[in-house]
């Protein structure tokens, strides 16, 4: 009787170990599936971009960074088909490793990347929109600024940039002496 009970316990233990191993394998498969699916969709690193990228490392409470925020927001919208604008707040603890990886020592720091993720140029401090576009141009990227909408007095769009010919707009005559 003692032997039978012992054999039963061994069989029960083996079944228990098989269950644990199968749960472990299922968990690993599920986690690897989520890892594979999120790597392509959720990964915001520079390697996955198909466009060049301007990455600004700063902080929401830093004064020069606050001055840069509206410029970056405007450029992100205006040039969304030309380059990516990304902001990382380095004063948030979860972003510190990223700042260390890119050797950020002062903020704001802007890093210009090509579409393959290679760093092209880096700037520390405030930089204006015109200077950003000028730098992209010097790096070989000619981003044409979006056309300004010219509107006449009656809110009709003016197609002709030569405003002298538009009937609703009067240009002052300059008399020469």
Pairwise CA distance, residues 121 & 137, whole Å: 12
Check residue 20 and give its pLDDT.
Answer: 72
The tokens describing 97, both together, are 């490793």
pTM, 2 dp: 0.57
DSSP state at residue 106: S
Catalytic sites, residue numbers:
62, 65
Terminus-to-terminus CA distance in the chain, angstroms? 128
- Other beta carbons within 10 Å of 110: 23
pLDDT score recorded for residue 30: 64
For tokens 């405030």, name the residue: 126
Contact by Cβ (8 Å): 54, 85 = yes
Burial environment of residue 58 by CB neighbours within 10 A (0 to 12, 13 to 18, 19 or more): buried
| pLDDT the model gives residue 145 | 60
Q: 122: which DSSP letter?
A: E
Q: Which helix (H) or strand (E) holds 67?
A: helix 63-78
In the chain (177 residues long), the average pLDDT of successive 10-residue segments reads 55 70 66 46 50 96 94 95 95 95 96 95 95 94 65 52 50 53
């Amino acid at each position: 009787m003692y032997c039978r009970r012992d054999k039963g316990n061994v069989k029960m233990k083996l079944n228990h170990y098989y269950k644990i191993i199968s749960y472990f394998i299922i968990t690993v498969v599920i986690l690897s599936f989520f890892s594979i699916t999120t790597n392509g969709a959720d990964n915001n690193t520079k390697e996955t971009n198909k466009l060049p990228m301007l990455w600004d490392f700063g902080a929401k409470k830093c004064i020069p960074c606050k001055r840069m925020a509206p410029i970056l927001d405007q450029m992100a919208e205006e040039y969304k088909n030309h380059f990516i604008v990304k902001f990382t707040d380095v004063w948030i603890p979860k972003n510190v490793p990223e700042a260390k990886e890119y050797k950020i020592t002062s903020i704001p720091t802007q890093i210009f990347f090509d579409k393959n993720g290679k760093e092209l140029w880096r700037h520390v401090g405030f930089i204006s929109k015109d200077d950003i576009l000028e730098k992209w141009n010097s790096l070989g990227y000619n981003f044409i600024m979006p056309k300004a909408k010219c509107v006449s007095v009656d809110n009709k769009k003016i197609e002709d940039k030569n405003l002298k010919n538009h009937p609703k707009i009067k240009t002052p005559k300059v008399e020469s002496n």
